Amino acid sequence: MKRPCNNLILYSKIMIFLMLFLCVNSQLTQNFYSKTCPNLLKIVRKEVQSAIKNEMRMAASLLRLHFHDCFVNGCDASLLLDGNSNTSEKFTPANLNSARGYEVIDNIKTAVENACSGVVSCADILAIAARDSVLLSGGPFWKVLLGRRDGLAANFSGSSNALPAPFDPLNTIISKFEAVGLNLTDVVSLSGAHTIGLARCTSFDSRLRNFNGTNSPDTTLDTTLVSELQNLCPSTSDGNNTTPLDRNSTDLFDNHYFKNLINGRGVLESDQILFSSDDAMTTTKTLVEIYSNNSMVFLDDFVNSMIKMGNISPLTGSDGEIRTNCRVVN
Decide if 132 is inside a domain: yes
| Whether residues 274 and 246 fall in one domain | yes
Residues 149, 321: Cα–Cα separation, whole Å: 6
| Whether residues 208 and 277 fall in one domain | yes
CB 197 within 8 A of CB 60: yes
Output the DSSP codes for 133-198.
HHHTTT----PPPB--BB-SS--HHHHHHHS--TT--HHHHHHHHHHTT--HHHHHHHHGGGGS-E
Q: Which of 153, 125, 149 lies closest to 315 in space, CA to CA?
A: 149
3-state secondary structure of 224: helix
Decide if 316 is inside a domain: no
Show which of 162, 195, 229 is a domain's final residue.
Answer: 162
| Whether residues 235 and 106 fall in one domain | no
Considering the chain, what percentage of its residues have pLDDT values greater than 90? 87
Decide if 79 is inside a domain: yes
CB 111 within 8 A of CB 47: yes
Average pLDDT for 193-214: 95
Residues 234, 95: Cα–Cα separation, whole Å: 23
Show which of 120, 142, 162 is a domain's final residue.
Answer: 162
Average pLDDT for 131-143: 97
Helix axis angle, 58-70 relative to 102-115, nearest 10°?
80
Q: State the pLDDT confidence band at 281, using cuts at 50, 70 and 90.
A: low
Average pLDDT for 50-55: 97
Output the DSSP codes for 254-309.
SSHHHHHHHTT--SSHHHHHHHHSGGGTTTHHHHHHHHHH-HHHHHHHHHHHHHHH
Q: What is the C-alpha radius of gyration for the chain, rounded to an integer number of angstroms?
A: 21
CB 322 within 8 A of CB 121: yes
CATH of the domain at 158: 1.10.520.10
| Whether residues 110 and 60 fall in one domain | yes
Average pLDDT for 237-259: 94
| Whether residues 249 and 300 fall in one domain | yes
- Please give the single-letter amino acid code of residue 167: F
| Whether residues 212 and 119 fall in one domain | no
Decide if 318 is inside a domain: no
| Whether residues 134 and 232 fall in one domain | no
Average pLDDT for 63-90: 96
pLDDT score, position 277? 84
- Residues serving a catalytic function are 68
Contacts (Cβ under 8 Å, ≥6 apart) of 138: 252, 253, 254
Instruction: For Cα atoms 105, 306, 135, give the angle at the middle one, nearest 5 degrees.
Output: 60
Show which of 136, 162, 188 is a domain's final residue.
Answer: 162
| Whether residues 187 and 131 fall in one domain | no
Decide if 13 is inside a domain: no
pLDDT score, position 278? 79
Considering the chain, what percentage of its residues have pLDDT values greater than 70? 91
Q: State the pLDDT confidence band at 283, using cuts at 50, 70 and 90.
A: confident
pLDDT score, position 280? 59
Q: What is the pLDDT of residues 157-190, one digit of tens each?
A: 999 999 999 999 999 999 999 999 999 999 999 9
CATH of the domain at 259: 1.10.420.10
| Whether residues 198 and 266 fall in one domain | yes
| Whether residues 148 and 186 fall in one domain | no
Which DSSP letter does residue 212 get?
A: G
| Whether residues 184 and 263 fall in one domain | yes
Q: Which helix (H) or strand (E) holds 111?
A: helix 102-115
Q: State the pLDDT confidence band at 282, using cuts at 50, 70 and 90.
A: low
Decide if 11 is inside a domain: no
CB 89 within 8 A of CB 155: yes
Instruction: For Cα atoms 300, 304, 310, give the angle at the middle one, nearest 5 degrees.
Output: 145
| Whether residues 213 and 127 fall in one domain | no
CB atoms closer than 10 angstroms to residue 59: 27
Residue 324: pLDDT over 60: yes
Decide if 78 is inside a domain: yes
Binding site as annotated, residues for substrate: 164
Q: What is the pLDDT of residues 77-87, one digit of tens each?
A: 999 999 999 99
- Domain carrying residue 220: 170-310
Mean pLDDT of the chain: 91
Decide if 263 is inside a domain: yes
Residue 306, classified by CB atoms within 10 Å of its CB into exposed (0-12), middle (13-18) or buried (19+), is: buried
Total tally of structural domains belonging to the chain: 2
Contacts (Cβ under 8 Å, ≥6 apart) of 135: 141
